Every structure is written in structure tokens, then in C-alpha cells.
Amino acid sequence: MEGHVLFDRGNAARWRAARRRRRGPTLVGATTLLEISTSAPLEVVDLTPRIEAFVGAARLDLGWVNVQSRHTTAALLVNEHEPLLVSDLFALLERLASRGAGYAHDALHLRPGVPPDERPNGHSHAKAALLQATETLNVSAGRLQLGRWQRVLLVELDGPREREVSLAALGCEVSR
């Protein structure tokens, strides 16, 4: 690259001036961390309003929001947030990964470095393996592109606990 100047003070000033004159989309990127306190062993928390607020604060008009659980016993789900459906979901998960099924993970004395307050939760990990840790949502016209009944749900599988959900937005803001 000898002889080529990629960046100097003169180029930077010209680039900033050109950017101010530019019309059209501007790249947007933003991240945040949602903190959620759950209060039950199994619980569903609707994250949709908080994600919508994040999209608005990021000024994202067109793009994607990635939603990620930062835990191995809390998952994400896009579905209807209706009490009978939630009850059905919990019943299904219990049939597929019941609490007393004898998980090797629960043999705490065989696992090195386990803290003394660790609780047996192999069933919670098994349930989480059936769901997702991430969801990517489309954004158009500044709104999440969810269907009529769809909500973005955090599914607590080993509560009560303090949980974190990472949000990352990428896309563009349309100049107005």
C-alpha cells in the first residue's frame, strides 16, 4: 500500500461533509442487554414490548433484531402468549424431559468445580435443548414483522433466577 493514503485529516473532513449531504439510508447498529427477574420454576415472560422499544430507540427502519438468551436453562420462543397454550407447552416439555428422569448432569458429586449452591437441573437443560437460544426478527417500517398473535417470549426453565437477554439490531435508518 506504499504511496496510497487511505486516511488523513483532509480525507476525513471531506468524508464527513459528504456524509452530511448524503440522502438515503444510513447504517444502524445497536446492542443492549435486557435484565429479567423470573419468579417461578417454569415461567413465560413476554419480551415483545421491550424489543419494540429497543427498535424505536435504535431508529431502525429496515433490518433485523437478533434476540439471544445468555443462559442454558432459559430459552426463546416466538408464539402466542395465551395462558392455556403456555400450560400446554409446559406439559409437553415435562413429558419430553421430566424432572425425575435420572440425568447424569444431576450427579453433582461427580462434576468437578460445582459450587455448593448448585441445584440438580438436568431436566431444565434438556428442556432448553428442545427450544432455541436465539431468534432473529425482521424489522420493516420501524416495526417488528410479527404475525397477528406472535409474541417474543423468554421461557424460564429453572427459576426463579436473574436472566439476561442480549439484543442486537442491524439495518438502516431511512433519512426523512
- DSSP readout, 107-170? -GGGSTT--TT----HHHHHHHHTSBSEEEEEEETTEE---TT-EEEEEESS-S-EEEEEEEEE
14, three cell numbers: 471531506
Mean pLDDT calculated for residue range 49-71: 97
Q: How does pLDDT run across 17-47, given as a tens digit for each residue?
A: 656 666 678 999 999 999 999 999 999 999 9
Domain 26-100+121-174 CATH class label: mainly beta
Domain spans, the chain? 26-100+121-174
**This prediction's pTM:** 0.84
Q: How does pLDDT run across 84-139, given as a tens digit for each residue?
A: 999 999 999 999 999 989 999 999 999 999 998 899 999 999 999 999 999 999 99
